[in-house]
């Protein structure tokens, strides 16, 4: 039977070439395993930990690996990362066990010679032998932060230029913490008072600054309430866009790029399940999830449509449009660990073009005096404030209320991811 460490290695290997997200691969792989709860937790922790600390792990392993680590076979790199992560970050795993299990993996996947190399490298790595501060002292401040917090250096430099060193270090630290779960209370089915009449539930939650939201480290405690529609898993930052748009009951709202549907269902709750929400997404296979979620919540006003949001035209002119645009995701790097290694300046530029196309099409669909809410889970100006400025230059028939623009930096508010939203109104020529 496959071990937790081998399963983690297989997931990391799949990420080397594939485009799928780590949580999707991990979920699918765990579904086909017979592991117990403890081993599943270990495999999940290993994958997320190695992805989160990859740069720092490579830097540390490089101090003891007397070859060019970048030229090593990907499977060997991932085995060494797994071993170093266990030794340096997991107190409950004995060092000898971490080394022995990684030696077995190396023998299985790369043969006896590589297993001896892995054994030699990992036995030299201990909390006492790793003097990170000393090794970093000769490097420039940006590279020090990049390795210390395991983020790409170009991203660290960009954030320091935009937000200053202190805020950047706060963002980097937040991205390496275990993220809290955000929960939204479904006001169509229950209330804060009803939900927390159970003292055990009350003890497991943390307050959130948004009404009818709370935070928790314990998903399992609230899973039954998620399953029966009393709760939705949603980070409070994602809710800000809906609250800013504030769609009125009885109105028609188009939700472009809707999947997985968290904003659509929240808008339906705000509208008291009165009116119409057209949830549009390019990928038809994602729509049943929106429909099932709406049904569990007791929501009946959401209609799903599979279409490219750049070309979709509804049968009725909407009163409001929410555009949750595809973006770099730099506001959610704490929740999606591998994304920090996939985002690039080129990718941000590519996304800018798509975002502009989506905004321009949304502008055409909206009626006079209608509201357009633009949102991303990015903290990059090119995708946010600069995108809005360029849109307003192209569309003099729109105005932006600067008081209704929100940029949230990761960790700036307890439990809030990073993100941006801006309310626009169509005023006509």
Residue 402 CB partners (closer than 8 Å, separation 6+): none
| Closest C-alpha among 163, 193, 139, 150 to residue 60 | 150
Residue 151 CB partners (closer than 8 Å, separation 6+): 55, 145, 172, 175, 333, 340
Cα(103)–Cα(97) distance, rounded to whole angstroms? 10
Diameter of the chain measured on Cα atoms: 74
Q: Hey, which residues does 407 pair with through a beta bridge?
A: 420
Cα(296)–Cα(289) distance, rounded to whole angstroms? 11
- Distance linking the first and last C-alpha atoms of the chain: 68
Q: Of 102, 257, 327, 377, which one is the catalytic site residue?
A: 377
Cα(281)–Cα(304) distance, rounded to whole angstroms? 8
What is the torsion angle, in degrees rounded to the nearest 10, for the CA atoms of residue 207, residue 213, residue 216 and residue 222?
130
Coil/strand/helix, residue 181: strand
377 belongs to the catalytic site:
yes
Output DSSP code: residue 148: H
Cα(30)–Cα(81) distance, rounded to whole angstroms? 21
Cα(265)–Cα(8) distance, rounded to whole angstroms? 34
Cα(256)–Cα(311) distance, rounded to whole angstroms? 11
- Angle (CA) 67 73 79, round 5°: 90
Q: Hey, which residues does 81 pair with through a beta bridge?
A: none
ω into residue 341 within 30 of 0, thus cis?
A: no
Q: Hey, which residues does 424 pair with through a beta bridge?
A: 372, 400
Cα(202)–Cα(182) distance, rounded to whole angstroms? 15
Cα(15)–Cα(249) distance, rounded to whole angstroms? 44
Residue 329 backbone zone (phi > 0: left; psi -120 to 50: alpha; other: beta): left
The residues assigned a catalytic role are: 377
């Amino acid at each position: 039977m496959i071990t937790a460490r081998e399963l983690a290695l297989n997931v990391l290997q799949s990420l080397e070439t594939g485009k799928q997200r780590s949580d999707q691969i991990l979920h699918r792989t765990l579904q086909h395993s017979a592991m117990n709860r403890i081993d599943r937790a270990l495999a999940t922790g290993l994958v997320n930990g190695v992805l989160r600390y990859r740069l720092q792990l490579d830097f540390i392993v490089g101090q003891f690996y007397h070859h060019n680590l970048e030229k090593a076979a990907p499977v060997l790199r991932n085995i060494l990362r797994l071993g170093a992560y266990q030794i340096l970050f997991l107190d409950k795993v004995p060092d000898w066990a971490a080394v022995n299990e990684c030696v077995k993996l190396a023998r299985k996947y790369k043969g006896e010679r590589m297993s001896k190399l892995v054994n030699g490298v990992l036995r030299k790595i201990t909390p006492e032998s790793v003097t990170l501060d000393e090794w970093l002292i000769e490097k420039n401040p940006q590279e020090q932060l990049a390795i210390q917090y395991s983020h790409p250096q170009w991203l660290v430099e960009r954030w320091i230029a935009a937000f200053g060193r202190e805020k950047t270090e706060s963002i980097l630290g937040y991205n390496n913490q275990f993220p809290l779960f955000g929960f939204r209370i479904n006001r169509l089915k229950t209330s804060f008072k009803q939900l927390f009449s159970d003292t055990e539930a009350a003890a497991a939650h943390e307050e959130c600054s948004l009404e009818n939201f709370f935070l928790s480290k314990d998903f399992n405690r609230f899973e039954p309430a998620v399953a029966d529609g009393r709760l939705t898993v949603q980070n409070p930052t994602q809710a800000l866009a809906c609250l800013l748009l504030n769609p009125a009951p009885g109105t028609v709202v188009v939700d472009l790029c809707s999947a997985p549907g968290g904003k659509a269902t929240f808008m339906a709750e705000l509208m008291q399940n009165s009116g119409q929400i057209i949830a549009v997404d390019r990928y038809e296979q994602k729509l049943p999830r929106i429909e099932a979620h709406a049904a569990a919540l007791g929501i009946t006003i959401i209609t799903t449509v599979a279409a490219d949001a750049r070309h979709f035209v509804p049968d009725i002119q909407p009163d409001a449009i929410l555009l949750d645009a595809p973006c770099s995701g730099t506001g959610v790097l704490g929740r999606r660990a591998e994304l920090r290694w996939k985002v690039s300046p080129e990718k941000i530029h590519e996304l800018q073009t798509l975002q502009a196309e989506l905004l321009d099409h949304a502008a055409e669909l909206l009626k006079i005096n209608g509201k357009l809410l633009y949102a991303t889970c990015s903290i990059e100006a090119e995708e946010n404030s600069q995108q809005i400025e360029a849109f307003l230059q192209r569309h003099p028939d729109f105005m932006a209320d600067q008081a209704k623009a929100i940029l949230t930096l990761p960790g700036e508010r307890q439990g809030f991811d990073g993100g941006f939203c801006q309310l626009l109104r169509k005023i006509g020529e």
